[in-house]
Amino acid sequence: MALPDHPAPRINPSILSADFANMQSELARIAAADFVHVDVMDNHFVPNLTFGPQMVERVQATSPIPLDVHLMIDDPDRWAPGYAEIGAASVTFHLEAAADPVALARRLRGIGARAGVAVKPGTGVEPLLEHLTEFDQILVMTVEPGFGGQSFMPETLPKLRRLAEEARRRGADVWLQVDGGISSETIGQAAEAGADTFVAGSAVYGADDIDAAIAGLRQAAAHHRH
């Protein structure tokens, strides 16, 4: 699905680093960003627990910008379509957890969401290469999923290079997202490797001036563009 008003580089702040008790004002603070990144965790796929569909529905109703939902949950084949039905612009599930990733991506697109698939740092992207046109976004995790505030893992960058090269070769219009440890220091490496969509939690919500932090990330990414 084309969203022409969101050209690369896209900056998606993660509300995992926001103050959960003041979600409405925390969402208002990131109005200058592209998408709000919503980390759904189930205490099974990852050792942490966050939001479920009711909370995501309230975020959807309150957010000034569209939702980029990242599902770190078991059995996404069963649960992911519900997040698309709520109205999330983008729904990303983990390759490691999905029984039939291509069928699930088709269902998400059928509901009207962008379909995303994510890989943990230790998971290869080879199985995705021949299906690139089935997805609107591929998320290469640059930390082990579960918690904000971890250090960026540069050893994940070759996967981005591989995906960017293959997407170009096949003419696939797929966004390449990174998530974990993205800051003004690390975003350039990810952009250079081919990422065009950047999740940042602590680098945005930990900043004194959120608008300046978003603008700074955008500028640094654009400067190192692939």
Q: CA-CA distance, 111 to 106, in Å (whole number)?
A: 9
Give catalytic status of residue 19 as yes or no.
no
Q: How far is the CB of 177 from Zn ion (least distance, A)?
A: 9
Closest CA to 169 of 132, 128, 196: 132
- Backbone phi, then psi, for 132, in 5-degree steps? -55, -35
Question: What residues pair up with 20 in beta bridges, in sequence order?
Answer: none
Q: Does 66 interact with ligand DX5 (rule: CB under 6 A)?
A: no
> Which one of 34, 136, 179, 196 is the catalytic residue?
179
Question: What residues pair up with 37 in beta bridges, in sequence order?
Answer: 14, 68
Q: CA-CA distance, 209 to 204, in Å (whole number)?
A: 8
| Closest residue to ligand DX5: CB criterion | 201
Region 29-48 residues binding Zn ion, contact defined as CB under 5 A: 39
Q: Does 180 interact with ligand DX5 (rule: CB under 6 A)?
A: yes
CB of 27 or CB of 200, closer to ligand DX5: 200
Cα 117–Cα 23–Cα 4 angle in degrees, nearest 5: 45
Give catalytic status of residue 179 as yes or no.
yes
Q: How far is the CB of 89 from Zn ion (least distance, A)?
A: 15
Q: Does 159 interact with Zn ion (rule: CB under 5 A)?
A: no
Hey, is 193 helix, strand or coil?
helix
CB of 128 or CB of 139, closer to Zn ion: 139
Cβ distance 82 to 104 under 8 Å?
A: no
Q: How many residues bind Zn ion (CB under 5 A)?
A: 3
Residues binding ligand DX5 (CB under 6 A): 14, 16-17, 37, 39, 70, 143, 145-150, 179-182, 199-203
Catalytic residue numbers read 39, 179
